[in-house]
Every structure is written in C-alpha cells, then in structure tokens.
Amino acid sequence: GQNIDQPTEMTATEGAIVQINCTYQTSGFNGLFWYQQHAGEAPTFLSYNVLDGLEEKGRFSSFLSRSKGYSYLLLKELQMKDSASYLCAVREDNAGNMLTFGGGTRLMVKP
Amino acid sequence: ETGVTQTPRHLVMGMTNKKSLKCEQHLGHNAMYWYKQSAKKPLELMFVYNFKEQTENNSVPSRFSPECPNSSHLFLHLHTLQPEDSALYLCASSPNHRGTYEQYFGPGTRLTVT
C-alpha cells in the first residue's frame, strides 16, 4: 500500500513563490505526478518526475528525491488563476498506469 | 468534441433508483478509468479498462457496475446506492494502462444520493 501526505491548505500572495510539498511511502516507486484541479473542474496534468532532480516547465517546477520519498511543486510569479487544488499522485512498480493520489493541497492566492 | 466528456454533469437519485454515468474520450486512447472524489478525501481509483478489458477493480461494491463497450466509451451503472456514495465521479483516459502516460480527466459527474 501507499501513504501520500501533502498539506491541506496554503495561502500565498500574488507575484510570490510557493512550494507545495508531498511525501510518500510506498513499497515500490515508478513515478510521481502533479495535477491541478480548479473547483468544479477536471484535474489537469502539470508534471511528471521519475528520476531525482528538478523538472522545470515555465512558472511551474517539480522536484523529486526518491531516497527521501519527497517531492515538491514550485509555483513562481503567482497569479490569481493559480488558486486551485494541487494533487500529488504516485505510480507504484508493476502497477501499470494506476495512480494513488494524495488528498490535495488547496492553494489560495491573495492580491 | 475534444478531450474527455462526461454526462450527466449533475445527478440526484434516490437509493432505489438505477442510473448510468457515461464517459466518452475523443483522444484515441486505449485505457479508461473511473475515479471517485469525495469531499475531504483523496481521489480513489475504482476501475481500469484497457482495450475494453477490465484490468483493475479496486474493491468496489457491486452496486457500481462498469461497462466498456469499446475503447472510446465507458459507463458506470448505479443501483441501490447509499448516501455515502454521493461524490464527484471522474472518468479519465490514457494511451495505454502500462507505461508512463499522463491521464486526461473529464469534468466529472456530481452525484447526490438522497
């Protein structure tokens, strides 16, 4: 089984930088995904990490440390539209493309 | 239409009713998934289909019955549900159920069981 933890809520200011952490415990690991979900909408893919290190994609970056069972999503130059839930999901070894999701972090961006 | 669509978007049903949720993907994918998203709980995988064959049933009660007639369509048949089944039901698809593929989600059906 898996245990995935992320903070329930975070608040940040427009224009700032925010880091959303995710820790996981799993018997096998084969990749970590971050999804964004606006209220009442479908989750949309943000990033994928399977090797240690930082993946950068525009204002969003995702970091992975497999030895620590730890990932973070970094959002720069925050905009009001970044207010959403951010979901961390882990894929286990030999689990195909099945994902186990964390509870999500609800980010509120204030002016 | 593009992407993944789901109908209806909202559904209210009594515990003795029978209803069905529909999902359609226009992405040419071969794998489709049903998830349940309850308030204050993580997204829970329910079923996985690959090339119309069910590859995973995540210990889902039999009052939920999936059907996948082809790789583009996925149904979730509901009968004698309980109030605790009220949730957002999300459908997703990916090119295959193996390999490293992001999943594309539909907008979900908000289900209320009275």
Query: In the predicted model, is pLDDT for residue A94 greater than 90?
Result: no
Mutate to test the interface with B, among A98, A100, A106 (most CBs of B within 10 A): A98
- Contact across the interface for A99 and B45, Cβ inside 8 Å: yes
Question: What mean pLDDT comes out for the span A82-99?
Answer: 85
Chain A residue with minimum CA distance to B103:
A45
Residue B77: which pLDDT band, with cuts at 50, 70 and 90? very high
Residue B31, token pair as written in the block: 């794998």
Share of chain A above pLDDT 90, in %: 80
Check whether A2 has a pLDDT greater than 90. Answer: no
Q: Provide the sign of the torsion angle of the four alpha carbons A52, A21, A25, A33, taken in this order.
A: negative
- Min distance B82 CA to chain A CA atoms (Å): 23
Residue with tokens 């209210």: B12
> Would you call A97 and B42 a contact, using CB atoms and an 8 Å cutoff?
no
Across the interface, whether the CB atoms of B102 and A41 are under 8 A apart is answered no
Of the listed ranges A80-84, B11-15, B50-54, B73-77, the one predicted with least confidence: B50-54
For residue A92, pLDDT beyond 90:
no
Which residues of chain A have a CB within 8 Å of the CB of B101?
Answer: 97
User: Which A residues 43-82 touch B at CB under 8 Å?
Assistant: 43-45, 48, 50
- For A47-84, how does the pLDDT look when each residue is reduced to its tens digit (9 = 90+)? 999 999 999 999 999 999 999 999 999 999 999 999 99
Q: What's the one-letter identity of residue B92?
A: A
Are residues A29 and A66 in contact, defined by beta-carbon separation less than 8 angstroms?
yes
| Rounded-to-integer distance, Cα B59 and Cα B66, Å | 13
Q: Do A42 and B45 touch (CB under 8 A)?
A: no
**If you average pLDDT over every residue of chain A, what do you get?**
93
Percentage of chain B with pLDDT > 90?
A: 77
Nearest in space to B71 (alpha carbons), one of B58, B55, B60: B55
Q: If pLDDT is split at 50, 70 and 90, which confidence band does A95 have?
A: low
Residue type for position B86: S
Q: In the numeric block, which tokens belong to residue B15?
A: 């515990």
Contact B42 A31 (CB under 8 A): no
Rounded Cα gap, residues A63 and A47, in angstroms: 10
How many Cβ atoms are within 10 Å of A1's Cβ, its own excluded? 7
Question: Using beta carbons and an 8 Å cutoff, which residues of B are at the interface with A?
Answer: 4, 31, 33, 40-45, 48, 50, 55-56, 90, 94, 96-108
How many angstroms away from the CA of A14 is the closest CA of chain B? 26
Instruction: Please name which of A44, A72, A6 lies closest in space to residue B104, comparing C-alpha atoms.
Output: A44
Is the CB of A96 less than 8 angstroms away from the CB of B97? yes
Question: In the predicted model, what is the mean pLDDT of residues B78-104?
Answer: 90
Per-residue pLDDT band at A1 (split at 50, 70, 90): low
